[in-house]
Structure 1
Amino acid sequence: MEPKLIIFDCDGVLIDSEIISAKMLVAELAPLGVHIDLDYIGAHFLGRSYPVVMQQIRQEFGVTLPVDFEDRYRERLLAAFERGLKVIPHVTAVLETLTATGRNWCVATSSSPKRAELSLRIAGLDHLVAGRLYTSSLVARGKPAPDLFLHAAAARGVAPEACLVIEDSLNGVRAGRAAGMRVWRFIGGSHLADKQLHEPDDALPERRFASFDDFTQRIGATAEGGAGATAETTGATTGGTTAAPCCGKEEL
């Protein structure tokens, strides 16, 4: 069935921001004696809201963060975005095509409204996403809870089962599945490059794809091939075994 609403995550899906955010967090925490790496961030923090991440850091590492930590981190992160944030290849063309053909789509992100708006402006997507942006500030629970996706679907007037979610994080996949929506996982962001993609059973997407170059054609193909249709891409591990290849937050 062709989806009636496509819900895109933002960071790591539309914009290649996750690798910048992760490196900045590693650098900011190190002087406080908290030493983590990118793999740790990917496993524990990707797709989650900033307050949740900070709470986990306090609990797991027993550290008291300076009162200005968040302001300093966000200021330096946005400066890094200004220097090096890029839109994911082919995304601009995809969003333009979806808009021009009257398709119903939106963006649902764990980022704060300010960060999401600034990031999209820097990436040159703000004019396309205007009026289509939903952030975790609108709901009580962030990903992996389904609240944000359900809120976006309701706002767009579409039943959950008629929605397709595009996510990169396991927590995002979990949220989409919990909402009763179809979920495709985008694995083409820099933060997932050369990674072994372990996917627990509760975070298995319908499909995986590494490029948006023929995304609009794939969307149309779902109407012909059904939910089980697949196309070739990088494999992932599920429950410790390799999955058959298939197609193709307020966040930190």
Structure 2
Amino acid sequence: MDTNPQLVIFDCDGVVIDSEVISANVLIDKLALLGAQIDMAFVQQHFLGCQFATVAAKINSLLSISIPADFEAQYREQLLQAFERDLTVTQGIKEVLAALKVPCCIATSSSLPRTTKALSVVGLTDVFADKVFTASDVSRGKPAPDLFLHAANRMGMAPEHCLVIEDSYFGVTAAIAANMPVIHYIGGGHISYHNHPVATAYPQVPALTDWNDLTRLMPSIMR
């Protein structure tokens, strides 16, 4: 791993904002109305880190459900309402962002309206401003490397000088495919590291449970 990265690329959901449990519960409830009974473990295994089009395709293939045409719009509306009520940042991330010595940006599988709203709710709009890149910016979402490569290019940085911080198997896979050092953040409320597919597939990727430990892992990027 490059111990002196010049850019930090954060995933958003489950890394900057502690949103994955909220998102999963809304999706679980919506699918229950269609007769599908799934739980958080199922969401984590199959959907975490994926853009909605991929999630919809997996719902069709794994659950044999064709979701209604208005499902996505209703899901997003209910999710933003839930964000207004319940969304928080992951514990310690604001202190990390304030202490970074290098530039940072977001590269997320979520839509730009959802991400913009989420950052507004938690008071991080000014931190990331125009440095938010989403799956709609590229033709292939995670686990393809395209989004991370796009973010690096827009930020004027070579891939090998970027550090990605991700919570999902698909995100970690995308970072590795982009030839970028990556840390697996497991401090979100949705993560159970026991038997996590990242730990199984990529044992060489360091795990970060607490943002306070980032200084120990990457002292060169922290004040």
Scaled to the shorter chain, the TM-score interval is: over 0.9
Q: Would the alpha carbon gap of residues 117 and 25 (structure 1) be closer, same or farther in structure 2, given more than 3 Å must change?
A: same
- Are 2:190 and 1:191 equivalent residues in the alignment? yes
Deviations 1:92-134 (A, max 9, x none): 1211222xx4x12111001100000001111111110102111
Structure-to-structure mapping, 1:182-221, within 5 angstroms: 182-193=181-192, 195-199=194-198, 202-204=201-203, 206-220=205-219
Select between 188-197 and 207-216 the one with higher mean Cα deviation.
188-197
- Work out whether residues 173 and 204 of structure 1, in 8 Å CA contact, stay in contact via their aligned partners in 2: no
Unpaired runs of 5+ residues, structure 2, are none
Q: Would the alpha carbon gap of residues 184 and 21 (structure 1) be closer, same or farther in structure 2, given more than 3 Å must change?
A: same
Residue of structure 1 equivalent to 2:105: 106
TM-score (norm 2): 0.92
Q: How high is the sequence identity, in percent, across the aligned residues?
A: 45
Counterpart CA distance in 2 for 1:203 and 1:110 is: 21
Deviations 1:183-219 (A, max 9, x none): 1000000001575424365444521011112424532
Partner residue of 2:99 out of 97, 100, 104: 97
Question: RMSD in angstroms over aligned alpha carbons?
Answer: 1.9
Residues matched between the structures, number: 220
What SS is found at the alignment partner of 2:143? coil
Residue of structure 1 equivalent to 2:126: 127
The code of the aligned residue for 1:61 comes to: L
Residue of structure 2 equivalent to 1:32: 34
Counterpart CA distance in 2 for 1:43 and 1:175 is: 16
What SS is found at the alignment partner of 1:11? coil
- Work out whether residues 183 and 205 of structure 1, in 8 Å CA contact, stay in contact via their aligned partners in 2: no
- Work out whether residues 172 and 198 of structure 2, in 8 Å CA contact, stay in contact via their aligned partners in 1: no
Partner residue of 2:49 out of 25, 28, 47: 47
The code of the aligned residue for 2:64 comes to: G
Residue of structure 1 equivalent to 2:11: 9
Unpaired runs of 5+ residues, structure 1, are 223-252
Residue of structure 2 equivalent to 1:63: 65
Select between 9-18 and 185-194 the one with higher mean Cα deviation.
185-194
Q: Would the alpha carbon gap of residues 174 and 155 (structure 1) be closer, same or farther in structure 2, given more than 3 Å must change?
A: same
Counterpart CA distance in 2 for 1:192 and 1:200 is: 12
Residue of structure 2 equivalent to 1:153: 152
Q: Would the alpha carbon gap of residues 68 and 211 (structure 1) be closer, same or farther in structure 2, given more than 3 Å must change?
A: same
